[in-house]
Amino acid sequence: MKLNSALLLVLISLVACKQDPEPLQLTSVYIESVSINGSAIYNGGTIYNVPVDSVVISIDFSSPIDKNKIDPTKIYISNNIDTSFAIHADATLKQLTFRIRKRLNYYTPYTFYLNNGENFGIKLIDSYQCSFVTSLDPTPKFPVISDDSLLTLVQRETFDYFWNYAHPVSGLARERLNSGDIVTFGGTGFGIMGIPVAIERGFITRAQGLERMNKIISFLNLPATDKFHGAFPHWMNGTTGKVIPFGTQDDGADLVETAFFIQGLLTVQSYFKNGNTAEKAMCSSIETIWENVEWTWFQQNGQQKLFWHWSPNYAWVMNMPVTGWNEGLIIYVLAASSPTYPITKQVYDSGWARNGAIKNGKTFYGITLPLGQDNGGPMFFAHYSFLGLNPTHLSDTYANYWTQNTAHARINYSYCVANPRKNFGYGNNCWGLTASDIQNSYTASSPTNDVGVIAPTAALSSFPYTPVESMQALHFFYYTLGDKIWGDYGFKDAFNLNTRWFASSYLAIDQGPIVVMIENYRTGLLWNLFMQNANVQAGLTKLGFSY
| C-alpha to C-alpha distance for 195 and 437, rounded to whole angstroms | 26
Return the CATH number at 204: 1.50.10.140
> CA angle, corner 480, sides to 474 and 483, nearest 5?
105
Q: What is the pLDDT of residue 385?
A: 98
| C-alpha to C-alpha distance for 83 and 114, rounded to whole angstroms | 12
Domain boundary among 112, 134, 156: 134
Neighbouring CB atoms inside 10 A of 119's CB total: 22
Q: What is the pLDDT of residue 92?
A: 84
DSSP H or E run through 512: helix 508-522
Q: What is the pLDDT of residue 10?
A: 41
Q: What is the pLDDT of residue 290?
A: 98
Domain boundary among 81, 102, 134: 134
Does one domain contain both 347 and 404? yes
Nearest to 338 by CA among 270, 300, 288, 386: 288
Q: Is 522 helix (H, G, I), strand (E, B) or coil?
A: helix
| Pairing, β 363-364 against β 367-368 | antiparallel
Return the CATH number at 49: 2.60.40.1220
Structural contact between residues 371 and 326, judged by C-beta atoms closer than 8 angstroms: no
456-472 burial, b at 16+ Cβ within 10 Å, e below that, comes to bbbbbbbbbbbeebbbb
Structural contact between residues 525 and 532, judged by C-beta atoms closer than 8 angstroms: no
Does one domain contain both 82 and 205? no
Q: Convert the pLDDT of each residue in 221-252 to its tens digit.
A: 999 999 999 999 999 999 999 999 999 999 99
Does one domain contain both 367 and 411? yes
The DSSP secondary-structure symbol of 146 reads -
Q: Is 287 helix (H, G, I), strand (E, B) or coil?
A: helix
| C-alpha to C-alpha distance for 110 and 132, rounded to whole angstroms | 5
What are φ and ψ of residue 144, in 5° steps?
A: -75, 125
Q: Across the strands, what pairs with 130? A: 112
pLDDT at 12 over 50: no
pLDDT at 14 over 80: no
Does one domain contain both 70 and 200? no
Q: Is 61 helix (H, G, I), strand (E, B) or coil?
A: strand
| C-alpha to C-alpha distance for 449 and 251, rounded to whole angstroms | 29
Does one domain contain both 245 and 127? no
Q: What is the pLDDT of residue 306?
A: 98
| C-alpha to C-alpha distance for 345 and 333, rounded to whole angstroms | 10
What are φ and ψ of residue 23, in 5° steps?
A: -65, 145
Report the amino acid identity of residue 515.
Answer: V
Mean pLDDT, the chain, integer:
94
Alpha-carbon distances of 528 from 196, 268, 520, rounded to whole Å: 12, 11, 9
Alpha-carbon distances of 114 from 44, 72, 94, 468, 528, rounded to whole Å: 12, 10, 16, 46, 64
Q: Convert the pLDDT of each residue in 373-402 to its tens digit.
A: 999 999 999 999 999 999 999 999 999 999
Does one domain contain both 109 and 154? no
What are φ and ψ of residue 365, in 5° steps?
A: 55, 35
Does one domain contain both 120 and 158? no
- 323 within domain boundaries: yes
Q: What is the pLDDT of residue 89?
A: 78
pLDDT at 4 over 70: no
| C-alpha to C-alpha distance for 421 and 450, rounded to whole angstroms | 8
pLDDT at 23 over 80: no
Does one domain contain both 238 and 340? yes
| C-alpha to C-alpha distance for 298 and 308, rounded to whole angstroms | 7
- 141 within domain boundaries: no
Alpha-carbon distances of 28 from 45, 69, 117, 123, 126, rounded to whole Å: 24, 15, 9, 5, 10
Helix pair 147-163, 467-475: axis angle to 10 deg: 80
Q: What is the pLDDT of residue 408?
A: 98
- 183 within domain boundaries: yes
Q: What is the pLDDT of residue 2?
A: 45
- 22 within domain boundaries: no
Nearest to 89 by CA among 81, 97, 101: 97
Domain boundary among 103, 134, 165: 134
Query: For 254, how many CA atoms within 13 A lie in the half-sphere containing its CB?
Result: 21
pLDDT at 19 over 90: no
Q: Convert the pLDDT of each residue in 46-82 to its tens digit.
A: 999 999 998 999 999 999 999 888 888 888 899 888 6
| C-alpha to C-alpha distance for 345 and 540, rounded to whole angstroms | 10
The DSSP secondary-structure symbol of 385 reads G
Q: What is the pLDDT of residue 83?
A: 66
Alpha-carbon distances of 223 from 226, 227, 242, 275, 283, rounded to whole Å: 8, 9, 11, 28, 20
Does one domain contain both 301 and 336? yes
- 19 within domain boundaries: no
Q: Convert the pLDDT of each residue in 126-179 to its tens digit.
A: 999 999 999 999 999 999 999 999 999 999 999 999 999 999 999 999 999 999
pLDDT confidence of 502, banded at 50, 70, 90?
Answer: very high
- 110 within domain boundaries: yes
- Mean pLDDT, rounded, for 465-482: 98
Percent share of the chain, pLDDT over 90: 90
pLDDT at 293 over 60: yes
- Mean pLDDT, rounded, for 293-307: 98
Nearest to 315 by CA among 258, 251, 256: 251
Q: Convert the pLDDT of each residue in 313-352 to its tens digit.
A: 999 999 999 999 999 999 999 999 999 999 999 999 999 9
Q: What is the pLDDT of residue 210?
A: 98
Does one domain contain both 130 and 156? no
Q: What is the pLDDT of residue 13?
A: 47
DSSP H or E run through 473: helix 467-475
Does one domain contain both 103 and 172? no
Q: Is 518 helix (H, G, I), strand (E, B) or coil?
A: helix
Does one domain contain both 120 and 161? no
How many domains are there within the chain?
Answer: 2
Structural contact between residues 493 and 485, judged by C-beta atoms closer than 8 angstroms: no
Q: Convert the pLDDT of each residue in 76-111 to its tens digit.
A: 899 888 667 788 877 689 999 999 989 999 999 999
Report the amino acid identity of residue 453.
Answer: V
- 14 within domain boundaries: no
What residue numbers bound the domain in which 358 lies? 147-392+399-542
DSSP H or E run through 241: none
- Mean pLDDT, rounded, for 504-516: 98
HEC string of 422-464 equals CCCCCECCECCCCEEEECCEEEECECCECCCCECHHHHHCCCC
- 7 within domain boundaries: no
pLDDT at 22 over 70: no
